[in-house]
Each structure stands twice: as C-alpha cells, then as structure tokens.
Structure 1
C-alpha cells in the first residue's frame, strides 16, 4: 500500500493516466474558446488537437497556422512543452521553488512518468531534464532565427523559430504551415537544425545527461552506447533505403538535384522516429517507402525521451533475443553484458500489446473510414508512435475515426504497458507449479 496515493489509493501508472487526461481536457477547453480559433471549432476537433499536442504527435484535423489565432497556437505550444517534458517535471520544479520536499509516493509517480526504474536520482534527473531541454531549445531558436528572422522580420521570425524549435525537440511535428517544412526541402540550415533537435529529443534525457557528464564513449553506460549506435545505424540505413526507393519518383525527389535528394532522404529518415515533420509529400511516396516508414514509426525513439513507439532499446532487445535463440545461446548478451530475463519478457510484452492495439485500431478504422487500408494503417501506426506523419486523410476522418486516432495517440504517449498496469488488478502468486512442455513453431 506504500506506493498508493494517500486518498484516492492510486498507483503511479493510474495517477499518470489521470494527469494526462486532465491536461488534455484543459487544453480542449482552452482551444474551444472563441479567442483560440478563427472559425468554429467542434468539440471533437478541439479534443483531437489537444490530444495531439499533449501526446506530442502532430496529427492535425485543422490547419494549425490558419485555423488558430496566436492565443490558440500558444496554447498548443504550451501543451507540447508540458506533454514533451512532462507535467510532473514542472510539478517537481514548482515544489522545489516553493521549498517543499517530495515524498516517496511523489517520487514514484515522477519516476513512472519519466520511465525511470530506479528510485534514487529522481530530483537530479528532473533538474537535468529541464536544464538540458531549455538549453537545447534555446540554441535551436537562435540558429533557426538566423534563417527565419531575415525572411519574416524580427517578431514573426522569432516566433516561427520558437514554435518549430519546441515542436522539433519535443518530437511533436506541429508546424504553422499546412505543408509542414516542404517549402524548405532544399534548405540545409532548416533541415539540419530541425533534425538535430529531433535526434536530441529522441535520444532520451538520461542519454543526454550521460553524454554531458562523461564525454567519453568508453565511459558511457550500456544504455547510452546502445542508443547512440542504434540511432546512427538505423538513421543511416533508413536514409539509404529511402534514397534508393524514391530516387526516380518524380512526385517526391525524382526531379531534384542529387544534393537535395540526399537531404530530403536524410530528413525523412529522421522524422518517422517520431517527429512528424515532412519536406516531401508523404502521400506520393512509393508503397515500399511507406512500409519502411511504418517500421520506423513503430520502433520510435529512446526511453525517457520525448519520442513514442515501442522504443529503440525494446526493438534491440527483441532482435538480440532472436539472435541468441538462433545461435543456441541461453542468455541474451550485448557488449559483454547480460540482459536480465525480466527485461526480455517486458520487451516481448510491449511488442505484443502494441501489435494488439494497432491491429484493433486498423480493424475498427477499416469499418468506419472509406479509405485504402495502407493509408489507414499508416494513420494508426503514426498515432500510436506519436509521430504525426499522415498520407493526407486526417482531416477527412469521421468523428468516430478521429476518436479512435486520438485514443491511439493517448496510448502511444502513456505507453501500452503502463496502461495495462494501471488497469490491472494483479496479485503476486507464491505458488509454483510443475513444468510441462508445449510444442511451438
């Protein structure tokens, strides 16, 4: 009972669930205000937009730049920041400013929100999270401002830089332009800065803290090494595959010079994990490229990061488990370290539950929406991975379809395993039964 909330008897996953729901509802009410939009915004569209912002997804049923006023856009930006860095992190900051101490229950709740399994170091992690985030976002704003202030003037150029820097670092994918960043497909400064912000946000705060403190690859923790190497390998492979698949596609990069082709391929290799910006028309991509992006969106970024998906480390653990089985190994090993079996089981549980949610979403959307199955699958996986990329069907979804996609964004942000834990009423069993074999395969 020690981990329960004193009055409501809530476990940390349940409390986190209520916090996210509450933030979505508050955001929906603010976006529904007349001063938030230029036109009438329905409740379902307000809830969808608020959910997309809080879950840092970026899927939009109405155009952010033209439909929302400055007030509405600032509400979305605030929801992105709270959703990306975590409302619990800001709560901890407020506690510290007021000179109050966090109890055991509060530390467990914050740890659950940050996907931090260790009890110790919560306060330090939150301080580093906020400090690194603000520093990185500030650097991003300055560099983007050098490009956008001359184009739009100081005031609007600075606002555009702030909006996109926060959206990129938090892997939100929201843009004030209806075609996202397609107008800057050939701009190296915009492409590189936005992609670096996405990568920094997707690596995870524990990785950023480890890199800042140790600054030597050999001294990094195993998690940091796996995340850095895995991110580089996956991004490079994705870039090469997209470049080769889309090389002759005149609707995307086929008519561009070789340099622009490489830049666009690089950017679209980064954004599916899980940022949602695009510099080329996603709906015009070859089906083979779409399938590659589906895999990237499903994998996502790193734990304790602003990204979604099953997480890169989960994918790597599953791949190592398969490799160990094929080689006849009884234990999963990496870098002369053994992976505990409980992590393997957790990774398999995340994979299985994620597949179940995505399959159910695709099945239900196929009943409610008259769209090609590939477009529906792309939308569902994009929502679950909190990516925000779309093949152009988001605005055409029925109200029921919007509700399903909003639910998938919520699941993707909370995490399927966290949701199951918050709903489960499991009790530890001390009974051990005799074993017996089952035939598999």
Structure 2
C-alpha cells in the first residue's frame, strides 16, 4: 500500500483521497443509525448526498432534516468540514497530532490543496487555516444563539447554530431546519451573520492571512488585490441589478417590508457565489434574475477558498487582459504589478475548458432527463452550473433525476470541488510537455 501511495502524484492523492472520504461517508449514511425511523435510503441516493456534502454543494435528492437522523446529519457536517478545508489539510493535521514530520511529498500535496506558491508557506498556512476557520465558525455559531435558542429551544437552538455556521462558512448550501429556509427572509440578524460567514469562506484563507498581517507587512499580494476587487464589484453590481430586475423583490411585498426586501436582495447577491442558501425562493425570481444568478455561480469564489466556479481571479485576469488588448497594450498591469503571460494563458484555458465541460454535460442531460412543460433548457443548464460551481441552487431538477442523471451530476460536483486542473493532471494523467523547438509565426484573421 505504501509503495502504491509513493507512486501517486500529489493531484492523484488529492483526487483519490476525496473519493475515499465520499465512499466511506456513503456507507455510513446507508447505516440505519444514520437515517430517520422508517426511512430507507438506497446506496445511490446516499452516495449522491455524500458527494454533495464533501463537494460542499448542497444539491440533494432527499430532504435533509426528514431523511437523516441527528447522527447522519453530524456525518454530513463532518464531510462538509473536510470538503471545505480540504482532505489534505486534515491529513496534515493528523501528522501534527501524532508528532510526525511532513516529508517532501506531504508538503507538495498540502501546497497543491491550498494553492500555495512555495513549500515554505505550508506549515504556517496550515496552522493559520485551522485556527482561523475554527474561530470564524465558533463566533458565527455563538452569534446565532440569541436568535435560534428562543426560536427552537436550548438543545435544538445550539445544534442549528453550529450546523448553520459550518454550512454557511463552508459555502455548502445544506440546511438542517424542518422547513424551507425561506422562513428567515425577514430575519436581518441571521441573514447578516450568514452573509459574513459566506463571504469569509469565499474569500479564501490566503486573502484573510494577507489582511490580518497587513499591520505588519504594510502590503497585500497581487492575488489578494485582484480577489478583493473582483469580489467587491461582483457583489455591488449584482446587488444593483437585482434591485432593478426584481423591482426590489416585489413578489414578496405582501410579506416583507421594503427594508427587509433590500437586505434580501443583498443576500441574493452574495449567496450565488457557491453558498446556495435559498432564503429567497427562486420561484419568485424573474428570468433576468435567474440569468444573473447563473453567471455569478459560474464565476464562484476565490482560489484556496471554500467556493467553486472558475474563480474571481480568473475573471479578473481575463477582464483586465481584454481591456489591455482593447487599448493596444501587450502587458496586463494591476496594482503596480504585471501578470505573467503564463497566468493569463492558464486563466483563458480554465475558462474555455469550463465552458466546454458545462456545455457538454448540459447537452447530455437535455437528452436523458425530462424537462417539465413550461421550462426550457435553462432548467438543465442552471443545475449543471450549480453542481460545477458547488453552489447548490436548484430549479427543481435534482430530486427528479434519473439514475444516470444522478451519476452525471455527482461527477460534475466532484470535478467542481477537486478542480478541473487536478482532475486533468491525475485521472486523465495529462502532463505539460515543453517543446524544444518553435514553428514560425503567421497571422490569422479573427472577428
């Protein structure tokens, strides 16, 4: 076993590590102790739930609170935690607890899992990741107690506060209430806490480290500058667009005040970037609003965070590259720094491959799944992008998937969490092959 492990590359170890966690979780969920009395879940549905939890997506084929016992829900929360922080992060924690030193391979895997630029950062970043995530989730849970304890009782209130904090920070999209989470749309206190937790998780640990160490370093990295700028613009623009396209959520006017609807619109601008908490029912959102949500889901959060999607930095680099090209500039500059051509090409490749992947999967499901009368292909495409970006929003397809459809969506969620690059470099065994020669250049007419 050790011999086989030594032959695996870091991307392969990460991929197979996540797979191992998923199957172990699925087998535990299949046990009677994990299910509510009188409920029987088949293995495929248990596997789908395990994939969704580990991929911190939130798409479910069964009702979470009505299907899983308290033990089963705790298993889901553990898988969400592992999925949010990363399989390798927990593996390194075991090394630290047992007093073992990290060898070069373990450090390389941790570097891959956390998107670090050099090995020297591994130990300090891992320590920081655990402490920061624990502090944020504990603070989030404590802040929710004054609202949830009077509403649900002491025991249930504490449990729901902890579970909601883990799910929101992990951008998991799972809810553990006995009724739809839309009952909180007039609860600004909880919505603000959730928005802060979701944003904290979606920004990424490297960004938070830069911000927390700013008083000492007096500077932040280019990565942090791009991530913060793109995230801020996405939230601000989408908030303004939702106010316009949804007419300040006019369908909720008979149940919510203007102030509550404005806050709900802000919440709607934050959650599509892979959180998936449906406080505002998608049935109340216009076609234009659904389009905005789809685009936000596709972008997702920041590299090294609990989010999926093509990531904010990818969008930022492509946008700045486009502006530079329109101005006739060959170099892309931002924040007193210049993006390397390799990074620009990598961002373009990720965006193109992601679009092709989503389009191919959508086409496949359009052929195999039943689209309800009155719905179009957006019914399928929305679900695929939601799975790929590990968001968890649904227009209703997931509970009605065929067995084949469930398998396809599971694969999409897994790839969305592990990452297209990791899958290409592990499962598909793609390798970079530098060439020792170059062909002469020739222009091609475009546009």
Q: Sort the TM-score into its range (normalised by shorter chain).
A: over 0.9
Whether contact under 8 Å (1:301, 1:307) holds in the other structure is yes
Deviation per CA, 1:210-255: give whole Å up to 9, x if none.
1111148962222222222322221111111112111276545576
- Equivalent position of 2:66 in the other structure: 66
Question: Which range moved further: 212-221 or 13-22?
Answer: 212-221
- Equivalent position of 2:429 in the other structure: 424
1:11 to 6, 9, 13: 9
Q: Which residues in structure 2 correspond to 1:240-389 (within 5 Å)?
A: 240-247=240-247, 250-252=250-252, 256-371=256-371, 372-389=376-393
Whether contact under 8 Å (1:35, 1:69) holds in the other structure is yes
Cα distance in 2 for residues equivalent to 1:40 and 1:111: 41
Cα distance in 2 for residues equivalent to 1:241 and 1:79: 35
Cα distance in 2 for residues equivalent to 1:281 and 1:345: 39
Whether contact under 8 Å (1:180, 1:277) holds in the other structure is no
Whether contact under 8 Å (2:317, 2:344) holds in the other structure is yes
- Equivalent position of 2:31 in the other structure: 33
Sort the Cα spacing of 1:424 and 1:71 in 2 relative to 1 into closer, same or farther, 3 A: same
- Equivalent position of 1:119 in the other structure: 119
Deviation per CA, 1:33-52: give whole Å up to 9, x if none.
11111211111111110000
Deviation per CA, 1:159-206: give whole Å up to 9, x if none.
000000000001101001365421110111110001100000000001
- Equivalent position of 2:88 in the other structure: 88
Partner of 1:428: helix, strand, or coil?
coil
Alpha-carbon shift at residue 117 of structure 1 (Å): 2.8
Alpha-carbon shift at residue 392 of structure 1 (Å): 2.0
Whether contact under 8 Å (2:248, 2:265) holds in the other structure is no
Sort the Cα spacing of 1:11 and 1:254 in 2 relative to 1 into closer, same or farther, 3 A: farther
Alpha-carbon shift at residue 116 of structure 1 (Å): 1.7
Question: Which range moved further: 309-318 or 257-266?
Answer: 257-266
TM-score (norm 2): 0.94
- Equivalent position of 1:393 in the other structure: 397
Alpha-carbon shift at residue 257 of structure 1 (Å): 2.1
Deviation per CA, 1:132-152: give whole Å up to 9, x if none.
000000000000111101111
- Equivalent position of 1:234 in the other structure: 234
- Equivalent position of 2:212 in the other structure: 212
Alpha-carbon shift at residue 411 of structure 1 (Å): 0.9
TM-score (norm 1): 0.95
Q: Which residues in structure 2 correspond to 1:189-200 (within 5 Å)?
A: 189-200=189-200
Alpha-carbon shift at residue 335 of structure 1 (Å): 1.6
Sort the Cα spacing of 1:127 and 1:133 in 2 relative to 1 into closer, same or farther, 3 A: same
- Equivalent position of 1:21 in the other structure: 19
Cα distance in 2 for residues equivalent to 1:277 and 1:375: 18
- Equivalent position of 1:433 in the other structure: 439
Alpha-carbon shift at residue 112 of structure 1 (Å): 1.0
Question: Which range moved further: 134-143 or 5-14?
Answer: 5-14
Whether contact under 8 Å (1:246, 1:254) holds in the other structure is no
Cα distance in 2 for residues equivalent to 1:90 and 1:304: 15
Whether contact under 8 Å (1:248, 1:254) holds in the other structure is no
Alpha-carbon shift at residue 400 of structure 1 (Å): 1.1
Deviation per CA, 1:311-367: give whole Å up to 9, x if none.
000100000111111000001111221000110011011101111110011101101
- Equivalent position of 1:158 in the other structure: 158
Whether contact under 8 Å (1:243, 1:261) holds in the other structure is no
Question: Is 2:128 the partner of 1:132?
Answer: no
Whether contact under 8 Å (1:77, 1:167) holds in the other structure is yes
- Equivalent position of 1:408 in the other structure: 412
- Equivalent position of 2:149 in the other structure: 149
Cα distance in 2 for residues equivalent to 1:102 and 1:161: 35
- Equivalent position of 2:109 in the other structure: 109
Sort the Cα spacing of 1:5 and 1:340 in 2 relative to 1 into closer, same or farther, 3 A: farther
Partner of 1:363: helix, strand, or coil?
helix
Cα distance in 2 for residues equivalent to 1:405 and 1:322: 33
Cα distance in 2 for residues equivalent to 1:150 and 1:81: 27
Question: Is 2:187 the partner of 1:187?
Answer: yes
Structure 2 segments unaligned to the other structure (5+ residues): none
